[in-house]
C-alpha cells in the first residue's frame, strides 16, 4: 500500500500534466516571430523621468525661457505614466509593491515639474513632502546629482568627478563592470565639459534641499576608509579640472569619443542599455555633432526604440531581451516534451544566427580566446555574457537547428569560451573575468551598487548545468572548481545569493540545479540543508515569494507568492532530491490552481535584478516560462512521460 504522500503525488500527475500542456501551448503561442521570443521588460518610473530630462536637453527652452518641445505629446504621456504609479504616501518605488525611494522620487519630481506640473498641485506637493522626509536632495544617489548638475540645478563642486582620463589609464576601465564603463565613459565627457544647459524660466529645485544638511559626505566615524580616500581624491580631481593640462584632457575626451563610437557598431546602442544610450545622445551633442549626423540619428533612433507607446501603455524598456527570452523558452519547451522537435528548429536557427564572432571588452583579459557566446539583446556584439551563453547552450541541448554541423561547431566554441571565462575563485560572473577590485566600490560614483562584476552562485549554477548538458564530464577540473565555489558560497542558512534574480530563492534553485547536473549526491549535508531552507520559507498558500528588500536586508525577506519564484523553489527542491514532500506537492498545487484560462500566469512582483538595491526588473515571460520547467521536472521526478 502506497504512502499518503505517494497517493497525493499520483493524484497530482494528471492535473499537473494538463496544466503543463496548456502552459506549453500558451508559451509557444507567445513567440514573437522569426523563431524568437521577446517579452516585455519593465522597470520603474526613473526611465520615463529621465526621458523628460533628456527631452529638455535635446530641445532647450526658447530665449524667453518658455519650453515648448516638439515632443510635447510624448512628454505628456510620460507624465501620465509616472503619475499612475505614484504611491499613496506621495513617493515612488524602485520595484513593484516596494516603498518610496528617494532617488526615484526626486527624478519623478524634477520630471513632472519640468513638464509643467505646478508645485501647488496635490500630487507634486505630496511628493515634495515625501522627498524631504526621505532626506531630501542631499540623500539622492550620485547619478541624480550629476544629471541635475548638467542643468545647473545641483552644485557641480558637490558631484563626483568622472574624469575622461580614465580612458588613458591603461586597462583601468576594464576593472569596472561592463555596464559601468558603458555608462561612465559617455558621462565622463558630459561631466568634463561642464555644461549648464538652460531650464524653463524660473525653474528651480531648491525646495528639495533639507536645510542644514551638508552637501558633501565624509565618513567621520571611519576616517581611514576607502570612501574618504576617494573623497580626497575627488577634491584633487576638481583641482585638476581647473588647473590641469588642457591638451591631456582634450586627448582623453577624444579617446572616450572613439571608444563610444566603436562600441555603437554592431550593437543596438552603447551596451544596448538605456542609461548609456541616453548619455551617448547627450555626449555627441556636446562634442558638436549636428542633429543630422548619422551617428546622432542612429543613437537617437536606438534610444527611442526602447519606448513602448501602444495599447499596453506608455513606458520605456531598459533594453530588449530576445536572446534571453528565446533561450529560456526553447529550453523549457524542450524539457516539457509537449511540442514536436521541429517546432523549435526556427528558434534554434535564430539563436545560432546571434552567436558572437568578434572580440569585445571581455577579450582584454582573454586575448587569445576564440570569440563566441551570446548577448542578451537583438544586437550587442561587444558584450556577450556568460549567463546568456549558458542558457543558449541549454536551449540548443533541447532543440535541433537546420544545420546540425553548424550547431555542433557553435556549441564547441561556446563551451571553450565559457571555460575560458571561469574566474580564479572557480565561479563565473556575468561579462568579465576577475572583475573584483572591491575598493573601486568606494569611488563616489559607485553608488549604483554595481561597480564590479564578481562571480555569483546563480550564474555559476547555470553554467555547470549547461556544461553537463553539453557532455562535459563531472570530473573535468573546471566543473570541480565550480562545485567547490558553490560549496564555499552557500549562506549559513543553507541558501545561495542570487545576483540576477530575486534573490535567495533564485540563487538557491540555480545552485542546486548546477550541483545536481555536476553529479553531487543529494544526500550531502549541504544540499539537504538547502532543501530544508526552501521548505522553511514556503508561504501558507503553497507558493513561494521573495521581496527585493532581501538585497537591502542581506537575508531572505518574504513576500506573497509568485509563479516564477514558486517554480524556482519547486525546481530547487527537485534538484536537491525532494520528490515526495508535502511542500513540493503544495508548490505544484499552487501552480495548478493559479494557472489562468489562457494557460499562463499572472505576476505582480519584480523578480529580476538589474543593480541590487537600486534597479529591478519585471521579465513578463518569467511567469509563463519557469512554471513549464517546474511542472516538467516534477513529472520527470515522478517517473512520468508526457503523452
Cα 441 from Cα 424, distance rounded (Å): 20
C-alpha distances out from residue 494 to 456, 529, 539, 577, Å: 16, 5, 18, 15
Q: What are phi and psi of 61, to 5 degrees?
A: -60, 160
Q: Of all helices (H) and strands (E), which one includes residue 286?
A: helix 274-286
In whole angstroms, give the CA distance from residue 416 to residue 206: 56
Q: Give me the torsion for CA of 103, 284, 251, 151, rounded to 10°.
A: -40
* Partners of 501 in beta bridges: 608
Could you give the CA distance from residue 134 to residue 213 in angstroms, rounded to a whole number? 13
Q: How far apart are CA 266 and CA 285, in angstroms?
A: 22
Residues 50, 285, 385, 387: which is the catalytic one? 387
Candidates 383, 500, 481, 377; CA nearest to 432 is: 383
Identify whether the C-beta of residue 163 lies closer than 8 Å to the C-beta of residue 188.
yes
341 DSSP 8-state letter: G
Q: Which residue has the cell 540548443?
A: 396
Per the annotation, the verdict on 425 as an active-site residue is no
C-alpha to C-alpha distances, 593 to 95, 138, 515, nearest whole angstrom = 26, 48, 30
Output the nine-digit C-alpha cell for 324. 534571453
Please tell me the distance from the alpha carbon of residue 126 to that of residue 245, in angstroms, as a whole number.
47
For residues 229 and 231, give the distance between their C-alpha atoms in angstroms, rounded to a whole number: 5
CA–centroid distance for 188 within its chain: 23
Residues noted as catalytic: 387
Amino acid at each position: 500500500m502506497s504512502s499518503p504522500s505517494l497517493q497525493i503525488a499520483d493524484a497530482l500527475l494528471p492535473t499537473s500534466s494538463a496544466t503543463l500542456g496548456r502552459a506549453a501551448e500558451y508559451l509557444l503561442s507567445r513567440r514573437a516571430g522569426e523563431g524568437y521570443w521577446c517579452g516585455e521588460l519593465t522597470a520603474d518610473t526613473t526611465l520615463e523621468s529621465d526621458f523628460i530630462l533628456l527631452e529638455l536637453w535635446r530641445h532647450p527652452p526658447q530665449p524667453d525661457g518658455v519650453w515648448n518641445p516638439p515632443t510635447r505629446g510624448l512628454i505628456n504621456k510620460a507624465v501620465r505614466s509616472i503619475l499612475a504609479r505614484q504611491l499613496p504616501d506621495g513617493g515612488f518605488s524602485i520595484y513593484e509593491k516596494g516603498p518610496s525611494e528617494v532617488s526615484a522620487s526626486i527624478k519623478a519630481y524634477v520630471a513632472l515639474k519640468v513638464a509643467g506640473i505646478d508645485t501647488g498641485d496635490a500630487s507634486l506637493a505630496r511628493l515634495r513632502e515625501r522627498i524631504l522626509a526621505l532626506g531630501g536632495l542631499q540623500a539622492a544617489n550620485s547619478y541624480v546629482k550629476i544629471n541635475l548638475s548638467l542643468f545647473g540645478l545641483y552644485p557641480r563642486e558637490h558631484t563626483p568627478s568622472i574624469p575622461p582620463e580614465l580612458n588613458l589609464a591603461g586597462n583601468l576601465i576594464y576593472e569596472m563592470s561592463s555596464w559601468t564603463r558603458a555608462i561612465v565613459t559617455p558621462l565622463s565627457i558630459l561631466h568634463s565639459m561642464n555644461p549648464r544647459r538652460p531650464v524653463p524660466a524660473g525653474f528651480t529645485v531648491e525646495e528639495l534641499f533639507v536645510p542644514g544638511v551638508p552637501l558633501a559626505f565624509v565618513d567621520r566615524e571611519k576616517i581611514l576608509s576607502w570612501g574618504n580616500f576617494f573623497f580626497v581624491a575627488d577634491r584633487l580631481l576638481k583641482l585638476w579640472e581647473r588647473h590641469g593640462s588642457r591638451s591631456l584632457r582634450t586627448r582623453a575626451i577624444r579617446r572616450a569619443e572613439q571608444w563610444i563610437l566603436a562600441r555603437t557598431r554592431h550593437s543596438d546602442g552603447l551596451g544596448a542599455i538605456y542609461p548609456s544610450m541616453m548619455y551617448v545622445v547627450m555626449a555627441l551633442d556636446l562634442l558638436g555633432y549636428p542633429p543630422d549626423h548619422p551617428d546622432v540619428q542612429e543613437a537617437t533612433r536606438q534610444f527611442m526604440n526602447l519606448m513602448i507607446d501602444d495599447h499596453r501603455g506608455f513606458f520605456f524598456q531598459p533594453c530588449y531581451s530576445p536572446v534571453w527570452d528565446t533561450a529560456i523558452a526553447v529550453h523549457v519547451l524542450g524539457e516539457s516534451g509537449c511540442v514536436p522537435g521541429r517546432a523549435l528548429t526556427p528558434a534554434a536557427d535564430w539563436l545560432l544566427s546571434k552567436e558572437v564572432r568578434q572580440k569585445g571588452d571581455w577579450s582584454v583579459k582573454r586575448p587569445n580566446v576564440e570569440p563566441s557566446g551570446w548577448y542578451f539583446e537583438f544586437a550587442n556584439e561587444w558584450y556577450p555574457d556568460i549567463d546568456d551563453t549558458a542558457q543558449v547552450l541549454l536551449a540548443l541541448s533541447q532543440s535541433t537547428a537546420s544545420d546540425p554541423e553548424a550547431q555542433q561547431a557553435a556549441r564547441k566554441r561556446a563551451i571553450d569560451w565559457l571555460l575560458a571565462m571561469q574566474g580564479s575563485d572557480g565561479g563565473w560572473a556575468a561579462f568579465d573575468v576577475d572583475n573584483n577590485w572591491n575598493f573601486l566600490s568606494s569611488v563616489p560614483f559607485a553608488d549604483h551598487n554595481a561597480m564590479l562584476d564578481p562571480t555569483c552562485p546563480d550564474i555559476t549554477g547555470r553554467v555547470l548545468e549547461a556544461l553537463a548538458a553539453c557532455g562535459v564530464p563531472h570530473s573535468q577540473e573546471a566543473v570541480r572548481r565550480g562545485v567547490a565555489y558553490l560549496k564555499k558560497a552557500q549562506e549559513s542558512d543553507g541558501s545561495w545569493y542570487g545576483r540576477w534574480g530575486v534573490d535567495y530563492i533564485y540563487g538557491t534553485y540555480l545552485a542546486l540545479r548546477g550541483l545536481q547536473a555536476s553529479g553531487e549526491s543529494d544526500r550531502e549535508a549541504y544540499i539537504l540543508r538547502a532543501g530544508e531552507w526552501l521548505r522553511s520559507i514556503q508561504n501558507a498558500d503553497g507558493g513561494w515569494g521573495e521581496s527585493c528588500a532581501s538585497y537591502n536586508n542581506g537575508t531572505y525577506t518574504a513576500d506573497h507568492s509568485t509563479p516564477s519564484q514558486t517554480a524556482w523553489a519547486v525546481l530547487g527542491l527537485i534538484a536537491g532530491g525532494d520528490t515526495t514532500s508535502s511542500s513540493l506537492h503544495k508548490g505544484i498545487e499552487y501552480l495548478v490552481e493559479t494557472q489562468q484560462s489562457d494557460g499562463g500566469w499572472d505576476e505582480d512582483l519584480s523578480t529580476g535584478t538589474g543593480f541590487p538595491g537600486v534597479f529591478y526588473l519585471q521579465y513578463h515571460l518569467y511567469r509563463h516560462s519557469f512554471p513549464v520547467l517546474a511542472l516538467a521536472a516534477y513529472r520527470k521526478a515522478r517517473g512520468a512521460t508526457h503523452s
